[in-house]
Structure 1
Amino acid sequence: MKLTKTLTSLLLAGTMMLPGAAMAETTLNFVSWQVGEKGYGDWWNAVIAEFEATHPDVKIDFTLVPRDGYTDAMITQFAAGAPPDIVHLTSFEYQTFADNGWLEDLGPWIEKSGMDLDGWAGQGACVWKGTTNCIMLLYFGYIMAYNEQLLEEGGVAVPTTWDEYLAAARATTFDRDGDGIKDVYGTGVHLATANSSYTNDVLIYVLSAGGRWTNKDGQVTINTPETIEGINRWRTIVEEELTPMGMVGGDIDQLFMEGKVALRIQGPWINGFVQRAEPGIKEHLKYAASPLQPPLGGSSNVITLASETPQEKKELAWEFIQLATSQKFQELYSELGASPAPRPGAVNEAAFAAVPHMQLLIDATNAASAAGVDRIPTGLEAQNNEFAKVAAEEFQRMLIEKLPTEETAAAIQAEAEMLQ
């Protein structure tokens, strides 16, 4: 027998009156790499708290899976037929899940609920092969965080060009304690695992030289003078050891927070590290436009439903998505996440008050959008993870074997074309 919601509510209310009776509880599984993060993690906690308050018989199990290895962990869950009920992915990996039929077509859900996505920043990236597979949570542009005290110590101003940036990085890389080992670095790039974090950091420099991984038509453009020049700029930073060696991006953000990195070109999430810095360091951490233009940016992370989730849980998970994308929580996203939310009109006075550098973030987002920049290469969307791994491994080999940049660019060009 199928119970109506009203009858079910009455029966549940009745059981609460019986001695020893307990209310049945539904658990929605929600996996994310943002659990515990200052800013974004706080925002998720606020959404979860309100959802649970308005759905007293539902509990959300918010579980951390670190970003490094997140994709593999999620693929394993989906392939095993046990996906999370609330699906959180990056915008450059969801295509693989969609191609496997693991994601729900959100079109009918959007239409039925009347959700208005007109002007929603980056939402176009959620349409894959004609199907809306997700809702965009963040579209952004990179800015530069810098340590004012370290720049003053190095005798350099805040850089506004590539040449000034390189000079500043050189001036602020030194051995502070005199033990013969560098302990303060001018900047930082991801040099550990061969993944998209690695290639995204290279892309910052490629863009500054006028290069791209692919053009707007999806043709691979790695073996071009502009892209090669950009790779050489990144290579200079690495080979002169102006960056900590062998670290992931999060570790570099941590060193910046500790006052050991002078310049950090990063997305809006760098603010979470700045806010956790010790007061004596935090007062010297400032923001400016990235000196490497156009800035890296584009779509970031998305929320969606798994196609295999039972219908009852899908409906609850969709209600959660509706709450997260509401005006109230999009405004809170801008405030707590310290970055412009994708919903139009979601950056209010409270967000500007809470995030003094909000205009820099808006300008960076607009600059990235105007230049048609996205971390996901056009024509390699579904192969992005594989492309990033192949390219990063070639860059690593280039550094270890001291290969000519042109040779490495040609190799990556050929492998990228094969992936297409």
Structure 2
Amino acid sequence: MKKKSLSLILCATLVFGLAACGSTKKEKKNDSSSGEIVLEFPSWQATEPGFQEFWEEAVAEFEKRNENVKINLYQVPFDSYVDTLTTLYAADTPPQITHIPSRYFAQFSDMGWFEPLNDRLKQTDIIENWSNLQDGLQVDGKYYGVLLLGNGYSMYYNKAMFDEAGIDVPTDVNSFMEAAKTLTKDENGDGDPEIYGFGACQVTDTNFYNEATSFVVGLGGKWSENGNLTPMTSDTTKEALKLYQSLFVNNYTPTGLSVEQKRQYFVEGKMAMIFDGPWVASLINDAAEEVKENLLVTTIPFESVPGSMSNSLHIPATISDKEKELVWEFIQMVTENDFQKLYMEKVGSPSPSKTAIDDEVLEENPFLGQFVKDAEKAQEILPSGYEKDYGEFTQYIIDGVMTMVTDPYADVATTLDDMKTKITNELGK
């Protein structure tokens, strides 16, 4: 009943013009009389530096290998990406090559929209050689996609700031908080720091959820466990959020920054530490030389490394058998070592393939070794048991945690109790 209702709501509320266009385009381009097959491939990465070069090379090679097959790679803005895909799938005009932010996997697979891949995967060594985060693309023992990127979060730091203060890079929570305090500087005495020990984002979007949850998971807490919300109000989760709150209360981080602003502050030398994913490395490459040489990366100084599936490739269940075979061939191609090495070269992120990473790759990207280590240890930050309700669940977290880190700073324990009650009442379990 839930699946049927959701489909009706989506079909009624989303823009049908796009679906209609997609249907016409699909029928026209894959008319067997033309002899040419066109595989639609929307992505939010199609024009993103690094990713764009990777995908364009992959498309060119696939078309070279397959005469009379074309891939229509095109950009869809990230903010509207999931809605666009949902519209196309609900209208039964899915893009043949389906690329998704993996945190939305459970929502899509719950609708029965993806083809199971176990029989195909058994004929390869992908699972054997792939990141453990690939298991997040399973439902009842069946894989419904192939992970393209899974990452841990790392700690970026400005070595010059630590050297000047005469302190070591932190390796545990106590030394982290001491460093955040020591490296925050009000240089002109106006009461507002010009240099910050740590950088956090504070805008109500997914990045805020990711960052707050990195503290919770990194320090041993959880929002949920298989749908049980007891961990949300545990002492461990409370203490993690009190520590996170203290960064704002003590002005160890600026307030009101988007994640993009946070990253920019760091590469400009205005922050000593940030927690973030491997994509920040490309920003460091563009930093001023006097700053760039001091920007390094290490493991987050907590007991666990937080991380998550990032993005993945899937085959729609309703496309033709011929199209399914072609899409699977494309997925297999991009899992080949040469393409995984190209991915690391162009994107600067770790490959999920354990066999693609070698000394040559690591020499070309000095940060990559750290990213690989962190990805291998990563503990998932998605809410366990609430993956299908990811959007609604995370919004409750975002709204609640935001009150904790905004003056007058809501009480952590009381707020967590309220969040737990709201989620239970609205989402059940």
Q: Structure 1 length as normaliser, TM-score?
A: 0.82
3-state SS of paired residue (1:242): coil
Q: Contact 1:155 / 1:171 at 8 angstroms: preserved in 2?
A: no
After TM superposition, the structure 1 = structure 2 runs for residues 76-87 of structure 1, keeping only pairs within 5 Å, are 76-87=87-98
Residue 279 of structure 1: aligned partner:
289
Report how far residue 216 of structure 1 moved: 6.7
1:340 corresponds to which residue? 350
SS at match of 2:103: coil
> What code does the residue aligned with 1:105 have?
P
> Measured at CA, do residues 98 and 25 of structure 1 come closer, stay the same or move farther in structure 2, by a change above 3 Å?
same
- 1:408 corresponds in structure 2 to 415
Query: In the superposition, relative to structure 1, how do residues 117 and 411 fare at CA in structure 2: closer, same or farther (>3 Å)?
Result: same
Aligned residue identity for 2:385: G
Q: Secondary structure at the match of 2:200?
A: coil
Q: What is the distance in 2 between the residues matched to 1:77 and 1:394?
A: 33
Structure 1: gaps spanning 5 or more residues = 1-10, 13-22
Counterparts of 2:47 and 2:296 in 1: how far apart (Å)?
24
- Which of 133, 136, 149 is 1:125 aligned to? 136
Deviations 1:219-244 (Å, cap 9, x if unpaired)?
A: 54110111001011111122334334
What SS is found at the alignment partner of 1:145?
Answer: strand
Quote the residue 2:6 is aligned against: none
- Per-residue CA distance 1:49-105 (angstroms, 9 max, x = gap): 322333454443333344445433433343344433221222221110111222222
**1:397 pairs with 2:403:** yes
- Of residues 361, 365, 386, the one that matches 1:380 is 386
**2:100 counterpart of 1:89:** yes
Relative to structure 1, the CA distance from residue 395 to residue 98 in structure 2 (aligned partners, 3 Å threshold; closer, same or farther) is same
**How many Å separate the matches in 1 of 2:280 and 2:150?**
15
Task: Give the alignment of 1:123-162 within 5 angstroms.
Answer: 123-162=134-173
Matched, 1:360 2:370: yes
Check whether the contact 1:162–1:208 (CA below 8 A) recurs between aligned residues: no
Contact 1:172 1:185 survives alignment (8 Å): yes
The separation in 1 between residues aligned to 2:193 and 2:56, in whole angstroms, is 39
Aligned residue in 2 for 1:214: 224
Give the whole-Å Cα distance in 2 for the aligned partners of 1:241 and 1:310.
57
CA shift, 1:401, in A, is 5.4
**C-alpha displacement at 1:258, in angstroms?**
2.8
Shift in alpha-carbon separation, 1:116–1:404, aligned structure 2, 3 A: closer
Which of 266, 273, 278 does residue 268 from structure 1 map onto? Answer: 278
SS at match of 1:291: coil
Structure 2 unaligned residues grouped into runs of 5+: 1-31
2:195 and 2:271 in contact (8 A); partners too:
yes
Q: Distance in 1 between matches of 2:420 and 2:187?
A: 41
Q: Name the SS of the counterpart of 2:232 in structure 1.
A: coil
CA contact (8 A) 1:146 1:262 kept: yes
Residues 151, 371 of structure 2: 8 Å contact kept: yes
CA–CA distance in 1 between the matches of 2:183 and 2:80? 33
C-alpha distance in 2 between matches for 1:83 and 1:400: 45
Identity of matched residues, %:
29
Alignment length (residue pairs): 394
Correspondence for 2:72 among 61, 70, 82? 61
With over 3 angstroms needed to count, the CA separation of the structure-2 counterparts of 1:291 and 1:103, relative to structure 1, is: same
Aligned to 1:307: 317
2:238 is aligned with 1:232:
no
Q: Deviation per CA, 1:179-215, whole angstroms, max 9, x where unpaired? A: 87655433222321343x2222112222343212224
How far 1:38 moved relative to its partner? Answer: 4.5
* C-alpha distance in 1 between matches for 2:209 and 2:243: 14
Letter in 1 for 2:149: L
Q: Secondary structure at the match of 2:261?
A: helix
Contact in 2 for aligned 1:221/1:413 (Cα 8 Å):
no
Contact 1:38 1:272 in 2 (8 A): no
More helix as a share of residues: 2
| Offset from partner CA, 1:119-161 (integer Å, 9 cap, x none) | 4212211112343211112233222111223334555432222
Identify which range, 222-231 or 310-319, moves more after superposition: 310-319
> Normalising by the residue count of structure 2, what TM-score does the alignment of the two structures yield?
0.81
In structure 2, what is the Cα distance between the partners aligned to 1:228 and 1:69? 34
1:414 positional shift: 2.6
Q: By how many angstroms is 1:354 displaced? A: 1.4
CA offset at residue 382 of structure 1? 1.5
Asked if the contact 1:37–1:272 (Cα under 8 Å) also holds between the matched residues in 2, the reply is no
Secondary structure in 1 matching 2:56:
helix
Change (3 A) 1:55 1:184: farther
Partners of 2:313 and 2:37 lie apart in 1 by 20
Name the counterpart of 1:289: 299
